[in-house]
Amino acid sequence: MTNQLNETHNPQLRSWIDSANRADSDFPIQNLPFGVFRRAGSEENFRIGVAIGDQILDLTIALQCDVFAEINHAALSHALRAPQLNALMDLGNQVASQVRLALSRALREGAEGAERTATQAQLSAALLAQSEAEYALPAQIGDYTDFYTSIHHATAVGKLFRPDNPLLPNYKWVPIGYHGRSSSIAVSGQKFHRPIGQTMPPNANSPVFGPAKRMDYELEVGAFIGQGNALGSAIDINEAEQHVFGLCLLNDWSARDLQAWEYQPLGPFLAKNFASTISPWVVTIEALAPYRKAWQRDEQDPQPLAYLESPTLRSAGAFDIHLEVWIQTEKMQREGSAAHRLSRSNFSDSYWTISQLVTHHTVNGCNLRAGDFLGSGTQSGPLPEEAGSLLELSQGGKVPMSLSNGEQRIFIEDGDTIIMRGWAEKEGLPRIGFGQVTGTLLTARST
């Protein structure tokens, strides 16, 4: 596991970019997440950058300034000039760590020497405010697998349909997942039409065709695969995180009424393939090292099979990441009202870890590739108010949610914007944030 601390984690580090030193910044110098951006409204090529404070540092400019001169890797220059992160991901986490270290040194406050001063002046002139940027997907996503790692979500949803037997027998033994649709994944700001399909109304004898009526969000954490594995090989649990480039936020939108009609016997299809939205910044596994937690399994539950078990997994396999969901209705936007928080939860409550997901995915010889994407599944906590979906919060559509402006919601309505945020924090350490992911539901296309 990538649990080694180094000089980039030093909580005393400060940047010469003032906004990175604010206590409430998601992007202090200890973070340095990667993304793909360009100037908003321009015809510029998308390029790789890192977030620092409220700014973006263009890595093509950093490359020209010899920030990475001490890294001896023939393919690095090509990878940093690429319009997406796949090539950098494929170089492996050791190279990404070297890149992050070089950036940390270049962006630190207090660097001395004429050469360093000149480099700082060049980099300062090359910064772009995040408010002036637009983003693309961080990587070309070849394959997308969504898991079901929250036992609290699985139990709550299971109770809605199987009150006497909410969890299926395999849940506590095997990480459950399905292969999703990568082509409809988009970066934060995604706007999409209410999906259309078949649903089976209550007490009806045949399905009807039309717009979905029970639209929902799913609060998830996404993981980008870095260096992959060969077809026919498997990734050991102790090496799994070396194959994970970093994490982001994911909203896996769901049409619950389409899902209820179609999901047996093969699982989700049209209920989930119309849109998924991710945050633009990928926070590296290395940056999250100080915020690890012990991973535990209830003694009364089945313990993982040997291939999903290790001492390091037990001691530090979980990540203490706070998660929030907010809603801003069309009326709120029109009246200038603040968004309403729907729930909070924590990624460390997951029943299965990132390393277990990677190991299980490859144990049969499946090959993962740089840029492949894994979703954690809905992240719900043990308390009802920590639910990661409206399906849970509304108890299957039976209990409306009252919003701060007097409106109510059972499921998402046209014009609603869902906002998700995530961050890690610990006393004595800076806040390592993910920024946010937003998406807006539009009216259905004409049928």
Residues with a catalytic annotation lie at 153
> Distance of CA 55 to CAs 32, 52, 108, Å?
11, 5, 14
What one-character DSSP code corresponds to residue 414?
T
Rounding to the nearest 10 degrees, give the CA dihedral for residues 25, 29, 31, 34: 100
Asked if 271 contacts 259 with a C-beta cutoff of 8 angstroms, the reply is yes
Helix (H, G, I), strand (E, B) or coil at 443: coil
The neighbour count for residue 239, using CB atoms within 10 Å, is 14
CA distance 400 to 278: 27
Can you read off the two tokens belonging to residue 52?
A: 């620092």
How far is 11 from 411, CA to CA, in rounded Å? Answer: 42
Asked if omega into 304 is within 30° of 0 (cis), the reply is no
Measured in degrees and rounded to the nearest 5, phi and psi for residue 268 equal -60, 145
Closest CA to 154 of 351, 418, 318, 317: 351
Report strand pairing: 185-187 vs 177-179: unpaired
* Neighbouring C-beta atoms of residue 43, cutoff 10 Å: 6
The CA distance from 15 to 283, in Å, is 18
Instruction: Pinpoint the alpha helices (H) of 82-150.
Output: 86-90, 93-107, 114-125
How far apart are the C-alpha atoms of 268 and 185, rounded to whole Å? 16
Looking up tokens 């001169």 gives 69
Which tokens hold the place of 312?
């390091």
How far is 236 from 190, CA to CA, in rounded Å? 36
**Side chain identity, residue 56:** I
- From the number of C-beta atoms within 10 Å of its C-beta (0-12, 13-18, 19+), residue 60 rates as middle
Q: What angle, 0 to 180 degrees and rounded to 10, lies between the N-to-C axes of helices 93-107 and 114-125?
A: 100
